[in-house]
A and B are shown apart, each in its own frame.
Chain A
Amino acid sequence: GAVVSQHPSRVICKSGTSVKIECRSLDFQATTMFWYRQFPKKSLMLMATSNEGSKATYEQGVEKDKFLINHASLTLSTLTVTSAHPEDSSFYICSVQDAYEQYFGPGTRLTVT
């Protein structure tokens, strides 16, 4: 299966700043990547579908201007949390899709102070 990495694994930022999270597919060219958010002791919530070379598709209730997604190449998708607030603190996980299943990255823990 595909190997997926995320960077950084942990980030702490101040309220009002922006943070970029990278999701890389190391051994597979991914036309589609997914971004999920996981709250403490909660399930994963799909935020958006990232499509290479086109605009991301956001799930209902997810602010596209706050969570900017760029899928510029077949191996890299980025999620930028703009003007972060403490309520954006969460665990963000990306996944890469092939024809049969999804492969998940190790996640990024974002803490906004």
Chain B
Amino acid sequence: AQSVTQLGSHVSVSEGALVLLRCNYSSSVPPYLFWYVQYPNQGLQLLLKYTSAATLVKGINGFEAEFKKSETSFHLTKPSAHMSDAAEYFCAVSLSGNTPLVFGKGTRLSVIA
């Protein structure tokens, strides 16, 4: 069975500060890993995905994530937070690119001016 743990249901950073959202996974096979962003009352938008290629994955809006097998982690980072980054972020895992996703509980990112 697969699972995802997102540490911290709420993260608050100052505008311009580093964003770090933590995600740890559990999977019996090499996983596919995803980060999604959700704005209020909207669907999910894919930020980036790991599919067993490069361990450092760059996504949209300046976000990136690094797959660390030894730590079973896939943390999301952005060097400098913008006000527009305030949203809910979900880490997800699947067995392949086209099987159902198992989501973490989400982390709400607040950006303070």
Give the contacts of B29-80 with A (CB-CB under 8 A): 34, 36, 41-46, 49, 51
Known: A43-B103, A44-B103. A104 touches B41 (CB 8 A): no
Counting residue pairs across A and B whose Cβ atoms lie within 8 Å, the total is: 51
Cβ-defined contact, A100 with B44, below 8 A: no
Cβ-defined contact, B90 with A43, below 8 A: yes
Cβ-defined contact, A43 with B98, below 8 A: no
The answer to whether the Cβ of A51 comes within 8 Å of any Cβ in the partner chain is no
**In the complex, how many residues of chain B place their beta carbon closer than 8 angstroms to a beta carbon of chain A?**
20
The answer to whether the Cβ of B105 comes within 8 Å of any Cβ in the partner chain is yes
**In the complex, how many residues of chain A place their beta carbon closer than 8 angstroms to a beta carbon of chain B?**
25
Cβ-defined contact, B106 with A43, below 8 A: yes
Cβ-defined contact, A102 with B98, below 8 A: yes
Supply 4 further A-B pairs (C-beta < 8 A) apart from A46-B100, A101-B34, A106-B42.
Answer: A43-B104, A43-B105, A97-B98, A102-B101
Residues of B within 8 A of A (CB): 34, 36, 41-46, 49, 51, 90, 97-98, 100-106
Q: List 29 A-B residue pairs with CB atoms under 8 Å apart, sorted by A's residue number.
A: A6-B43, A32-B98, A34-B100, A34-B101, A43-B103, A43-B105, A44-B44, A44-B90, A44-B103, A46-B101, A49-B100, A91-B41, A93-B43, A93-B44, A97-B98, A99-B97, A99-B98, A100-B51, A100-B97, A100-B98, A101-B34, A101-B97, A102-B101, A103-B46, A104-B36, A104-B44, A107-B41, A107-B43, A109-B41
